Amino acid sequence: MDIDQQLAPALTARKREHLYRSRRVLASAQGTRVQVDGKTFTGFSSNDYLGLANHPKVIEAMQAAASQYGVGSGASHLVNGHSVVHHALEEELAAFTGRPRALLFSTGYMANIGTVNALIGKGDAVFEDKLNHASLLDAGLLSGARFQRFLHNDVKSLEQRVQASDANRKLIVVDGVFSMDGDVARLPEMVDIAERHNAWLMIDDAHGFGCLGKNGGGCAEHFGLSEDKLPILMGTLGKAFGTFGAFVAGSEVLIETLIQEARSYIYTTAMPPAVAAATRASLKLLQEEHWRRDNLVQRIKQFRAGAENLGLQLMPSPTPIQPVVLGDEARTMAVAAHLEKNGFLVGAIRPPTVPRGSARLRITFSANHTERQVEDLLSALGDAVQANRGDSE
């Protein structure tokens, strides 16, 4: 059999199970109005929570830096690709997070793989929330440490496992905001557990930075957790920051260890300096323009109140990620398609990204959405759900 003949049955099975994924082609900048596959939609599916991905000041910073430093960084950070712009951004991210140091990675996926694997290995143990992002799960599995999953956001389940472990090093690692559910990790209790059982705590705050905390400092700021409580803080730059890349913030020794040991830091080309320059501009806007977070909170409140009126099943999420669980994959796809026909783009999330039986719409909000846009979405959502009632209703 040739390769295609061997691969094709799995694709056919996916189609049959409504699990086949395909890409849409985006022809506009990211924003609340987007052009996809030749049509214009009101978009509720991006992670550009603060509306910075297409902000004139961010664009201008990128253009100016491209003129000065060119496009490609030309080398990895440790060879000679670490530019003055990367360095300045790292210093600003350290100040922003209130940590002594910060280190840029090219993506969040790579930051997680590199960090976890620099810190633990055989003979150690890693404790992960069942709903952690795939990059954290992959990082833990790759490490060779004993891999233990605990029940979602269940601190008892976590403590039982940490307490019973006699591993050399113990690393607890969780999403700060869970990417498919939108709820926030119970970090203060996890800090206690880590302290009592001599474990390290790492959070991936990809969805918290920019959105949570008075100044957008994410979960750490929201809960007031300093570096001694929360020693390993990871964030991404492709979501609320509106640009691209990721960082880890922590102590001098942690960051120097990552520079020496994190393979996904060492063996990859540095992000373009112009991307770092754009991020410096967005970091400034993210901290200074409080109205963005205020708007976001208003739209989230409006949506939750409206969805409850429609009798929809919401999740305990205070964040811009608002899932509407419909359960059945086919029904989820049908509701999303109905919304699309009416001009609204939302995420439709199926297994294996979420557990079986919990297929859902993943509706996300931006600081740039208007009250009217959310009102219109709610009305279309009501119609779409009516038109696609499940068997059980």
| Positions marked catalytic | 179, 207, 239
Q: Reduced to 3 DSSP states, what percent helix, strand and coil does the chain have, rounded to the nearest 5?
A: 45, 20, 40
Encoded tokens for 219: 């979960």
The residue among 302 and 317 lying less far from ligand PLP, judged by its C-beta, is: 317
- Residue ranges in 68-107 that form contacts with ligand PLP under rule CB under 6 A: 107
111 or 326, CB closer to ligand PLP? 111
Please give the size of the binding site for ligand PLP, defined by CB under 6 A: 14
Q: CB-wise, 179 or 368, nearer to ligand PLP?
A: 179
Residue window 168-197: x/- pattern of binding to ligand PLP, with contact defined by CB under 6 A: -------x---x------------------
Q: Does 236 bind ligand PLP (CB under 6 A)?
A: yes
Question: Does 362 interact with ligand PLP (rule: CB under 6 A)?
Answer: no
Per-residue DSSP letter, 76: B
Least distance between ligand PLP and beta carbon 111 (Å): 7
Task: Specify the residue, 109 or 127, whose C-beta has the smaller distance to ligand PLP.
Answer: 109
- The reply on whether position 238 binds ligand PLP by CB under 6 A is yes
We find the least distance from the C-beta atom of residue 159 to ligand PLP, in angstroms, to be: 23
What's the Cα-to-Cα distance from 290 to each of 214, 217, 256, 370, rounded to whole Å? 8, 12, 33, 16
Which residues contact residue 7 at a Cβ distance below 8 angstroms, ignoring those fewer than 6 apart? none
Q: How far is the CB of 188 from ligand PLP (least distance, A)?
A: 20
Helix axes 273-288, 56-69, angle to 10 degrees: 150
Residue number with the smallest Cβ distance to ligand PLP: 108
How many Å apart are CA 296 and CA 298, to the nearest integer?
A: 5
Task: Decide: helix, strand or coil at residue 113.
Answer: helix
3-state secondary structure of 105: strand
Residue 369 found at the interface with ligand PLP (CB under 6 A): no
Tokens 């307490």 label which residue? 163
The answer to the question of residue 204 lying near ligand PLP (CB under 6 A) is yes
CB of residue 230 vs ligand PLP: minimum separation in angstroms? 16
Which one of the spans 78-86, 200-208, 271-279, 351-359 is the region binding ligand PLP (CB under 6 A)? 200-208
Q: Which among 76-84, 108-116, 341-349, 369-377 is the span making contact with ligand PLP, rule CB under 6 A?
A: 108-116
DSSP labels, 281-340: HHHHHHHH-HHHHHHHHHHHHHHHHHHHHTT----S--SSEEEEEEE-HHHHHHHHHHHH
Token output for 322: 């608002």
Which listed residue (41, 69, 96, 109) binds ligand PLP by CB under 6 A?
A: 109
Task: Please report which helix (H) or strand (E) contains residue 42, including its range.
Answer: strand 39-44
| Backbone dihedral region for residue 364 (phi beyond 0: left; psi -120 to 50: alpha; all else: beta) | beta
Query: Which region, judged by CB under 6 A, interacts with ligand PLP, from 120-128, 188-196, 202-210, 344-352?
Result: 202-210
Chain contacts with ligand PLP (rule: CB under 6 A):
107-109, 112, 133, 135, 175, 179, 204, 206-207, 236, 238, 246
